[in-house]
Amino acid sequence: MKVHVDQERCQGHTLCAMIAPKVFELDDIDGHSSPVSETVPVDQEDKVREAVESCPERAISIS
Ligand code: F3S
C-alpha cells in the first residue's frame, strides 16, 4: 500500500497522526501532515485506512 497526503487539502486536523503516528508526521510550522514513507508497513495498513476515513478534508489517498 502507498499513501499520499494532498497538501492543498490538508488543514492540519491531526486525526491521521493520532490514529497512525508511525505513518504520519506533522510539520512543526504549518501543521500539515505528510507520510514518513510513501510505502505503508503492512502492520499499519488498517490504521491508514481508518485515517483515510477520518480525515475531514479527505486529504489522504491510498493506492
Ligand atoms: Fe491533514 Fe487530514 Fe491529517 S486534514 S493533518 S491529513 S487528518
Q: Whose alpha carbon is nearest atom 2 of ligand 1?
A: 55
- Residue with cell string 508526521: 25
Per the structure, the complete domain to which residue 19 belongs is given by: 3-62
Cα-based angle 28, 60, 19 (whole degrees, multiple of 5): 65
pLDDT score for 45 = 98
> How many domains is the chain built from?
1
- What confidence tens digit (pLDDT) does each residue in 18-56 have? 999 999 999 999 999 999 999 999 999 999 999 999 999
| 50 residue type, one letter | E
Q: Which CATH number do you get for residue 55?
A: 3.30.70.20
Pick from 6, 14, 19 the residue to mutate for probing ligand 1's pocket: most ligand atoms within 8 Å of its CB: 14
ipTM of the predicted assembly exceeds 0.90: yes
Q: Pick the atom of ligand 1 nearest to 15's CA.
A: 7
